[in-house]
Amino acid sequence: MRVQFTETVLRDANQSLMATRLPYADYADILSTMDKAGYYSVECWGGATFDSCLRYLGEDPWERLRNIRKNMPNTKLQMLLRGQNLLGYKHYHDDVVEKFVELSIKNGIDILRIFDALNDFRNIKTALEATKKYATANTIASGCISYTQSPVHTVSKYVEMCKELNCMGFDTICLKDMAGTMSPYEAEHLIKGIKDAVPDMPLILHTHCTTGMAYQTLTKAIDSGIDVIDTATSCFSNGTSQPATETMFYALEQYGIETGLNEKVINEVNNFFKPVKQKYVDDGILNPKSMATDAQALVYKVPGGMLSNMIANLTDMGAMDKFDAALAEIPAVRADMGYPPLVTPLSQMVGNQAVTNVLVGERYKNISNEVKNYFKGEYGIAPAPVNRDLEAKILGAGGVPTDCRIEDQKRTGEEFKKAAEELGDLAKTEEDIMSYICFPKQAKDYFLARKEKEERTCKYTMEACDED
């Protein structure tokens, strides 16, 4: 028996624990060692890394990817891609999605883990097709399911989703438990059900330690036939991050399960990251709170991040006396919206609407634009029928019901070309144009700073020449 590991320290682990503030320079020196660890893959790009590079770290995300590629020639590099949203929150046109995938593969990505917040697979189809179109011998298209619990999210529903991902042509399937609420029992039933339905499809489990259940869940998942687990080197594990790589390695060794990992190397990797982590603990970027176990998500069925957000908002407004009422309102709003998985951006939308309903004292007297757009079908199809009265109130006469609306009208605009024209000579490469499309302001600021730096260097060189 064999279970392989995806190491997440370069992406999800530092995104979860320290808001993705890990600069490339902090880990450049360990990459060639990590390359010898024997991981199934290293998750190193996508998610919030792209935004963080441009917004906070003054890095070109594409250059970061090329550097990782150069230093890890033998390991599969993995990214997280939010389907038609790419790395942002709006739906991009097909030409942009296709170009983004093309450039990701060209710059070094092997595995594209593609998901949609609502599991509306129309939103991941273009990214899949582009992956197939630009695939190299190493490319893997991984179809990813946002895992959540609700009356409509049954084992059979998830099995159906997996069959669909299989039919669509994905190479592997990943179950993404972003809130860390998947219990050992649920993992067992889910994975056995999926393995029965699509036995040849490699299955990956991505979970978080937030609620403290992840190790037990992984153990059951392994018993039930999971092929790959996501873990983080131990000093960047636990809390809101993934379970620890070395811990799972030692446990599996004793079970006699082959992992392909090199014990010496994975320990060396952790030793390297220990002082890196300490630096961020010392300067407060890594908040010790994110290292704690918080089982509230299991009690309230609300992800930890969403709960702490709500507490912060209510405290700001001096309305913590409404906390219990707001908490009770969340499942009600979620039911009205057809049980969307509580993942960004839906967790924020549901949470804010619940708080508003309670604070205003009348349900849906004020409705946020995001919720209105959700009912207009702009995010995709809801997992279950929405509240029809609320839908009628939002859409008015002649509105097309949420679950009938076809949002995937050919997105054939020339968004890429338009952006190229806007940027002019500030963009040097297609990658620059893509950065600008994803994060216009941050990318432009970055390009302007880059230009200024180049001009300074250029002037300096000229002056140096003059002295000669």
Q: Does 12 bind Co ion (CB under 5 A)?
A: yes
Number of residues binding to Co ion, judged by CB under 5 A: 1
Residue number of the CB atom closest to Co ion: 12
Measured from the CB atom, the residue of 31 and 144 that comes closer to Co ion is 144
CB of 12 to Co ion, least distance (A): 4
Q: List, in order, residues 6 or more apart from 464 with CB less than 8 Å away.
A: none
Tally of CA atoms within 13 A in the half-sphere of 68 that contains its CB: 28
Measured from the CB atom, the residue of 21 and 163 that comes closer to Co ion is 21
The C-alpha torsion from 119 through 121 and 123 to 126, rounded to 10°, is 150
CB of 213 to Co ion, least distance (A): 15
**Closest to 198 in 3D by CA, of 155, 154, 167, 153:** 167
Q: List, in order, residues 6 or more apart from 3 with CB less than 8 Å away.
A: 222, 226, 227, 228, 229, 252, 257, 258, 259
Measured from the CB atom, the residue of 12 and 431 that comes closer to Co ion is 12
Measured from the CB atom, the residue of 84 and 242 that comes closer to Co ion is 242
Nearest-5° angle of CA 392, CA 394, CA 400? 60
CB of 333 to Co ion, least distance (A): 24
CA atoms of 429 and 167, how far apart (whole Å): 36
CB-based burial label for 289 (10 Å; 0-12, 13-18, 19+)? exposed
Cβ neighbours of 66 (radius 10 Å): 15
Measured from the CB atom, the residue of 13 and 97 that comes closer to Co ion is 13
Phi-psi region of 293 (alpha: psi -120 to 50; beta: other; left: phi over 0): beta
Measured from the CB atom, the residue of 7 and 12 that comes closer to Co ion is 12
Phi/psi for 173 (5° steps) reads -125, 135
Measured from the CB atom, the residue of 233 and 356 that comes closer to Co ion is 233
9-17, 161-169, 313-321, 375-383 -> range binding Co ion (CB under 5 A):
9-17
Q: Does 177 bind Co ion (CB under 5 A)?
A: no
CB of 231 to Co ion, least distance (A): 12
12-20, 54-62, 65-73, 116-124 -> range binding Co ion (CB under 5 A):
12-20
6-14, 363-371, 427-435, 454-462 -> range binding Co ion (CB under 5 A):
6-14
CB–CB of 145/161 below 8 Å? Answer: yes
5-13, 252-260, 271-279, 427-435 -> range binding Co ion (CB under 5 A):
5-13
CB of 191 to Co ion, least distance (A): 18
10-18, 189-197, 365-373, 387-395 -> range binding Co ion (CB under 5 A):
10-18
CB of 206 to Co ion, least distance (A): 6
CB of 61 to Co ion, least distance (A): 19
To 10 degrees, what angle do helices 61-71 and 94-107 make?
Answer: 30
7-15, 165-173, 216-224, 264-272 -> range binding Co ion (CB under 5 A):
7-15
Phi-psi region of 290 (alpha: psi -120 to 50; beta: other; left: phi over 0): alpha
Measured from the CB atom, the residue of 12 and 391 that comes closer to Co ion is 12
8-16, 210-218, 231-239, 396-404 -> range binding Co ion (CB under 5 A):
8-16
Q: How many residues does the chain have?
A: 468
CB of 246 to Co ion, least distance (A): 20
CB of 96 to Co ion, least distance (A): 24
CA atoms of 143 and 171, how far apart (whole Å): 8
CA atoms of 254 and 172, how far apart (whole Å): 27
Measured from the CB atom, the residue of 98 and 116 that comes closer to Co ion is 116
CA atoms of 391 and 398, how far apart (whole Å): 11
CA atoms of 371 and 377, how far apart (whole Å): 10
**182, two tokens:** 């998947």
Per-position x/- string for 296-335, each x denoting binding to Co ion as judged by CB under 5 A, each - no binding = ----------------------------------------
Q: Does 110 bind Co ion (CB under 5 A)?
A: no
CB of 428 to Co ion, least distance (A): 33
Measured from the CB atom, the residue of 12 and 26 that comes closer to Co ion is 12
Binding site for Co ion (CB under 5 A): 12
